[in-house]
Amino acid sequence: MNTDTFEMTTGLAHEIAMAMRRNGWTVPDAKKLTEGDTLARLLPFLKGNAEIKTVKHVIDCDADPYLPDGWKVEEHRKGGQVEFDLSKVTLYLVKDQQCGGVIEGNKLRKQLAKQPVFNANVLDYLLKNPALIPDEWKGKAIFFWGTVYRDSLGGLYVRYLLWRGSSWGWSHYWLDNGWYDGYPALCPQVSA
């Protein structure tokens, strides 16, 4: 192989594919390498002339939450500066939601009163940084119980994250409705 000119051989393609698989890469991850100048920016690292630094995703959970038109904040649990780490969060269901069960939202709110839950600031941060959202969350409505809203008619709502078929978005759910096993609360994992 001529090392002065790049040439992709079948053997080299196989080695790269095996290394990517071994290191947890996905097809979308590999496709990102071909976008723009990504490979040009990686080359100095490969040649020992640069370092890669992991980005910390710090969310201000003390800030006022996003407020949809005509809504008021009924409750907003502040949580300080939270470094979002997917390995340190859990999708939480109360006992009544498990195994196909259902619980009315107002009752669920009472059960979650002492449970650490993330507020809507985390939801909005994830929407601005969708690469942080795992594919396993598709098909679920991920609720952010740390912020409860009241609409102009007096109804109480909690916002949630959902997959809309081609992108992530948010919607809201009335507390008088039932919460099923596909409607978990996003919570920090509590150390035992």
∠39-42-46 over CA atoms, to 5°?
Answer: 120
pLDDT at 117: 97
3-state secondary structure the chain: CCCCCCCCCHHHHHHHHHHHHHCCCCHHHHHHCCCCCHHHHHHHHHCCCCCCCCCCCEEECCCCCCCCCCCEEEEECCCCEEECCHHHEEEECCHHHHHHCCEEHHHHHHHCCCCCCCCHHHHHHHHHCHHHCCHHHCCCCEECCCEEEECCCCCEEEEEEEECCCCEEEEEEECCCEECCCCCEEEECCCC
pLDDT (tens digit, 9 = 90+) per residue, 138-186?
Answer: 999 999 999 999 999 999 999 999 999 999 999 999 999 999 999 999 9
Query: What band does 122 get if pLDDT is binned at 50, 70 and 90?
Result: very high
Nearest partner of 119 among 154, 145, 100, 99, judged by Cα: 145
**Are 159 and 123 in contact, with CB atoms under 8 Å apart?**
yes
Tell me the torsion sign for CA atoms 144, 85, 168, 139. negative
pLDDT (tens digit, 9 = 90+) per residue, 79-96?
Answer: 999 999 999 999 999 999
**Range 102-111 average pLDDT:** 97
77/73 Cα distance (integer angstroms):
11
More confident of the two residues 48 and 123: 123
**pTM over cut 0.95:** no
pLDDT (tens digit, 9 = 90+) per residue, 58-74?
Answer: 999 999 999 999 999 99
100/21 Cα distance (integer angstroms):
35
Give the percent of the chain with pLDDT over 70. 97
pLDDT at 83: 96
Lowest mean pLDDT among 36-45, 92-101, 120-129, 140-149: 36-45
pLDDT at 125: 98
**Are 109 and 37 in contact, with CB atoms under 8 Å apart?**
no
